[in-house]
Amino acid sequence: MASVRFAWNPVLVELRRQVCPNARWQKSSRQWLMRDDEVRSFLQAAQTVLEYRRSQTEIRVDDVTWVMGFVQGAPYRLTEVAAA
């Protein structure tokens, strides 16, 4: 099971309900637990809807942050700069 986190967004909340109705909410860690196929479906749907709406967001899947939506080259992994 993968852990999925995103900032509250009514579009993503509704997508999660439609695409991944069996995802489980982990209240203590404030994340969704989804099967790998659910994660892929959710990310694909999020990209499509956000791009159409000319909106963007970041979605964290396990330890990887994805930039989604109306952004050049999206979806793509966010490269985090290590502190020196």
pLDDT in tens, 70-82: 999 999 998 765 5
Write the CA distances from 9 to 1, 15, 32, 79, 84, integer angstroms: 23, 10, 14, 23, 33
Contacts of 58 by beta carbon, 8 Å cutoff, 6+ apart: 6, 7, 65, 66, 67, 68, 78
Q: Collapsing DSSP states into helix, strand and coil, what is residue 3?
A: strand
- What is the amino acid identity at position 2? A
d(CA 48, CA 29): 27
pLDDT at res. 79? 74
- Predicted TM-score (pTM) of the model is 0.86
